């Protein structure tokens, strides 16, 4: 029996391809999103390996909920800006993977509301 570690090379880093300008524009928000994504992926790996405790699962839920809220804010801001720039319902439907009628309904519903806090965060970083 050996006491050698199973893996002798360090785990590879997950690389998120961003330009320097994109990384600078995102600032700390990019680091926060990457941290949340890393935590969610770790939780997914734990679940697949069958070794997730209830505390692990709660942390995965917390991180995925925060990530989901931010992603929804980014999506809603993009939909709002797409509409403001004259983007078509057809193009929106293709981007969303839904019918044109569904895209129209979703966009029209969004535009009737004020931007959410996460949508504001997505556009101003605050």
Tokens of 51: 């070794």
Query: What confidence tens digit (pLDDT) does each residue in 94-116 have?
Result: 999 999 999 999 999 999 999 99
Phi, psi angles (nearest 5°) of residue 67: -65, -45
104-113 as b/e: b if 16+ CB within 10 A: bebbeebeee
Q: What does pLDDT average to over the chain?
A: 91
Q: Give which of 63, 77, 72 is closest to 33, Cα–Cα.
A: 63
The whole-model pTM stands at 0.84
**pLDDT one digit per residue (tens) for the chain, 126 residues:** 344 455 455 566 778 888 999 999 999 999 999 999 999 999 999 999 998 999 999 999 999 999 999 999 999 999 999 999 999 999 999 999 999 999 999 999 999 999 999 999 999 876
Tokens of 83: 């509409």
């Amino acid at each position: 029996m050996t006491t050698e570690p199973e893996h002798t090379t360090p785990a590879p880093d997950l690389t998120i391809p961003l330009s320097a300008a994109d990384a600078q524009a995102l600032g700390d928000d990019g680091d926060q999103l990457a941290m949340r994504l890393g935590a969610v992926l770790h939780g997914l790996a734990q679940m697949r390996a069958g070794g997730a405790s209830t505390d692990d699962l709660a942390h995965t839920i917390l991180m995925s909920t925060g990530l989901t809220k931010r992603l929804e804010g980014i999506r809603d801001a993009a939909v709002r800006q797409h509409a403001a720039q004259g983007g078509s319902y057809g193009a929106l439907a293709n981007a969303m993977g839904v019918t044109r009628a569904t895209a129209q309904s979703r966009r029209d519903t969004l535009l009737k509301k004020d931007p959410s806090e996460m949508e504001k965060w997505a556009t101003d970083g605050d």
